[in-house]
Structure 1
């Protein structure tokens, strides 16, 4: 007797793919923890009795570097804790209407408006994003160091954890510019990209410009979102590159 296989609905297939991607990311994080633990066991016996503080600082610095490379293995020069900041004078206004409050089963998840600086922080969870009105906006970031940019990473929450069941507030089409001289704020296009709402929540885009100059200021222009009529949310923007001495 031939066994009939039930076809898995497309929506369920997409959810399964997202869950699989999250599991893969968890495995990567566990591998990093394993590597860091092995490193500690290697250096602990070799600590100098005369200068233990130096050894402690070395381990802390290594842990911080590993943290800054979280989940994708690339250092983030737009990380606020490393010294990056948003230039609010060159930034869209924060969306401030009460409709943006998010609740789940009657429990409020977000009452206040987040400042643009939240996109420079690693805490990505529902509601912890910066929102601007409409589907077009921009943000300008002073990097922690001058670099030659090589790639950018845009983070958003997956649909599976969204309280409204969709991520139509996510940026869709966007452009990245480099600014080398803050005196005149002349922008050089580094690339035009599209965030795939059906792809991984963390998406990395390579610099398209060639050759690439060094910059200490980056600007992101959002040209459209995935359909929300009132506002667009950015959860996190990372900037990767080669450090310039």
Structure 2
């Protein structure tokens, strides 16, 4: 019963990263954004069809996402296919970090008040020189979970800071052992 309620909440919570609602891939923050048939835009669409994922070369990569509005983020959701349907569950992303680009004097001031965050070993994703990033969440997608749609909270200190973000980077650090990584859908939740 609680699982069904939690699933309904995720499905009804607004997804600010939907392309149909104006979210866009930031090509300068998405190194594998290479061809129309393997477009990172697939991760911003509302579909979970086998093989219709954005394929990263190897186990690591990142996608930059620009929202149509700034939000106070509260969570990030990753969708993947169920183990029973996919022939390569090892291509599912595993460890990930969600980053937010800090922009504007108010947000920079709030970010400076936060200091450093000990749970993240670095200051930025691999691609993003010249920008200031805040680590919003570090999490692991669990392929053994009965839930294929998994939601992860934004760090409390980020929520409490009041910083707003309009550009995000989802960094995939590892997958479950495949030679490529499939990103089916990324959802970003929060308050405008």
State the TM-score, normalized to the length of structure 2. Answer: 0.76
Give 1:241's aligned residue: 190
Evaluate the alpha carbon distance shift between residue 231 and residue 95 of structure 1 in structure 2; reply closer, same or farther with a 3 A threshold. farther
- 2-side partners of 1:211 and 1:235: how far apart? 26
* Structure 1: distance between partners of 2:166 and 2:102: 6
State the partner residue of 1:171: 93
Q: Root-mean-square deviation (CA), in Å?
A: 2.5
Cα deviation for residue 185 of structure 1 reads 2.4
1:201 Cα deviation after fit: 0.7
Name which structure has the greater RCO, CA cutoff 8 Å, separation 6+.
Answer: 2
- 1:160 matches 2:84: yes
Q: CA deviation at 1:92?
A: 2.5
Q: Unaligned regions of 5+ residues in structure 1, if any?
A: 1-20, 29-68, 97-111
1:202 corresponding residue in structure 2: 149
> What's the CA shift string for 1:42-62, capped at 9, x where partnerless?
xxxxxxxxxxxxxxxxxxxxx
In the alignment, structure 2 segments of 5+ residues that lack a partner are 105-128
Choose 1 or 2 for highest CA Rg: 1
- Hey, what's the Cα distance between the residues in 2 that align with 1:208 and 1:136? 23
Partner of 1:187: 133
Distance between the aligned counterparts of 1:188 and 1:171, measured in 2? 21
In the alignment of these two chains, the number of paired residues is 161
Q: Distance in 2 between matches of 1:88 and 1:161?
A: 31
Give the TM-score normalised by the residue count of structure 1.
Answer: 0.60
Residue in 1 aligned with 2:180? 231
Measure the CA separation in 2 of the matches of 1:211 and 1:130.
28
Structure with the larger helix share: 1
Specify which structure has the higher proportion of strand: 2
2:32 pairs with 1:93 = yes
- The 1:227/1:94 distance shift into structure 2, 3 A limit, reads farther
Deviation at 1:145, TM superposition (A): 1.2
Mark the CA change 1:94 to 1:146 in structure 2 (over 3 Å): closer, same or farther. Answer: closer
Match of 1:10 in 2: none
Contact persistence 2:27–2:33 (CA under 8 A): no
Q: Write out the 4+ residue segments of structure 1 that deviate beyond 6 Å after TM superposition.
A: none
